[in-house]
Amino acid sequence: MFRCGIAYPRCKWIVPLLLLFAIIFDIIAIAATSGWVEDEEGNSHYTSMWEECRGRNDNWDCRSLMEYPWAQAVAALMIIGLLILILAFIVSCVALCGSLNLTLLPFVGVLLIIVVVLQIIALIIYPVKFNEELFEGHYYYTWAYGFGWGATILCIGCAVLFCCLPRYEDELTGLAKTKYLYSSA
């Protein structure tokens, strides 16, 4: 009556799609001008990855954070991570969406692990240095900073999948019999 199994051939399309979502999340995090951090009231001080702004209503005084070495490092790590993520997406599409090329999958997994390391470093440096140099009260990390963590978490999951998928070649090609996790008579 009811059967629950894993359809491995769907992984050929779902995993690159997850990487595409990670790319979109990274672009949102990097390009967000509304800020990664804002003050408790949300209307007098906010800081994005690129600039710090203070003021009220239409009277904002903004200055670039790129004069700080830590902000330059955060920007560089996030952008390099995004570029490697785009490369991993292209290689995954070549490996999975055309003819199945399982030799490229561990390479994509390694690329994603590099992305994860770079972005975790950037996403930890930012709040630490913000608290040391710009902190003046109570602040909230916004949705843009959360998108950076979302992209990183997606990359962690996809790295695990890409490292494990070569073990399931027959399942990916559809040659193996479906193994059911649950079967009800």
Residue 103 covered by a domain = yes
Tens of pLDDT, residue by residue over 51-76, are 888 877 777 788 888 899 999 999 99
The per-residue pLDDT for range 137-150, each reduced to its tens digit, is 677 888 888 999 99
Residues 6+ apart with CB under 8 A from 65: 47, 48, 49, 50, 51, 52, 71
Residue matched to tokens 């902000």: 71
Average pLDDT, the chain: 82
Give the residue, 116 or 11, on which the prediction is more confident: 116
Q: Give the domain CATH number at 142.
A: 1.20.140.150
pTM: 0.83
- Examine residue 131 and state whether it is found in any structural domain, yes or no: yes
Number of folded domains that form the chain: 1
Residue range(s) defining the domain that contains residue 104: 8-176
**Predicted confidence band of residue 1 (pLDDT cuts 50, 70, 90):** very low
Residue 184 domain flag: no
Residue 185 is assigned to a structural domain of this protein: no
Q: Are 51 and 61 in contact (CB under 8 A)?
A: no
**Domain assignment present for 52:** yes
In whole angstroms, give the CA distance from residue 150 to residue 104. 25
Q: Which residue has the tokens 């073990």?
A: 167
Do the domain assignments include residue 66? yes
